Amino acid sequence: MNAPRASESPDDEWRDQVVLHSLDALSSDETRQVEAQLAASAESRALLDALRQDLVALSDGLEVDPPPQLRDRVLAAVRTTPQDSPPFTAPSSASTPRSGTTDLDAARHRRQSARGAAASRRQGWLIGLVAAAAVAVGAVAVTTQWGDQPEVPLADQVLEADDAVSWSDSAEGADYTVVYSASMDRTVLVVENAPEVPSDRAIQAWLVPADGNPVSAGLLPDGDSVELVLEGDLNRAAAVAFTMEPQGGSTAPTTEPFLAIPLEG
């Protein structure tokens, strides 16, 4: 009675979990775990999408006309319900992460020019010791620029580290590069052409473990070109995912990731 199990890359148990998730037949804890792992696997998301497509057949023939008042209520509610802004769509399962030194070089280069422009404005900002470094064209300036003291910000040290490795992907025209230095044991996120975020929202980064719930890695600061020292241990993560959250962030993701960068290789 077993189905053929050819060419599997996720193992049987994981596949079963995805099947049960497609039916909404997992407990809430199991659902959270599976969703976190799905964020890191485009292949599994494609499997889930295909299963959901098959399930359409199961409600074919169940149609029941709702009461006419429902139409009035829904259409009235729609008139006063704001819509989510278009830039934050769920990731396409076709999204292909790129990684390699080219992205790191590009990130370093872009960063240098952005930083030059910011520094030339002579606006120093003291943010916390291990705080977000926001380099935004025309807006906020660099961290730990304290008087003329030449202190190299942590983000720069990571980006310039000899052992820095990077993973990149883009979503809606924004480029996200995760840079990790093993010698410093720190991770920096560089976002170029960062999307505009409504004032009551924020983009939150998450470290997604292979097994377990996503852990917040920090909130992206405002600006088009952003650097952020990520919190948490990248070695325990299978992916870095990004979600839209209410301003101030959430303790667990409340929306589906619009981007997940698998930390492969």
- Residue 16 or 151: the one with the smaller Cβ distance to other proteins is 16
Q: Is 161 one of the binding residues for other proteins (CB under 8 A)?
A: no
The closest of 154, 145, 144, 153 to 120, measured between CA atoms, is: 145
CA 49 to CA 95: how far, in whole Å?
14
Residue range at the interface with other proteins (CB under 8 A); choices 78-86, 121-129, 155-163, 209-217:
78-86
Question: Judged by CB under 8 A, which of 9, 14, 37, 64 binds other proteins?
Answer: 64
Binder of other proteins out of 34, 40, 41, 88 (CB under 8 A): 88
Strands 174-181 and 186-192: antiparallel
144-148: which pairs have CB atoms within 8 A and are 24 or more residues apart?
A: 145/119
- Between residue 3 and residue 62, which ones bind other proteins under the rule CB under 8 A? 3-4, 6-7, 15-16, 19-20, 22-28, 45-47, 49-62
Angle between helices 42-55 and 28-39 in degrees, nearest 10: 130
Of 205, 207, 227, 223, nearest in space to 215 by CA? 207
Residue 76 as a binder of other proteins (CB under 8 A): the answer is no
- Rank residues 71 and 109 by Cβ distance to other proteins and give the closer one: 71
When computed from its CA atoms, the radius of gyration of the chain, rounded to whole angstroms, is: 22
What does the binding site for other proteins look like in residue numbers (CB under 8 A)?
A: 1-4, 6-7, 15-16, 19-20, 22-28, 45-47, 49-67, 70-71, 73-75, 77-79, 81-86, 88-90, 92-94, 256
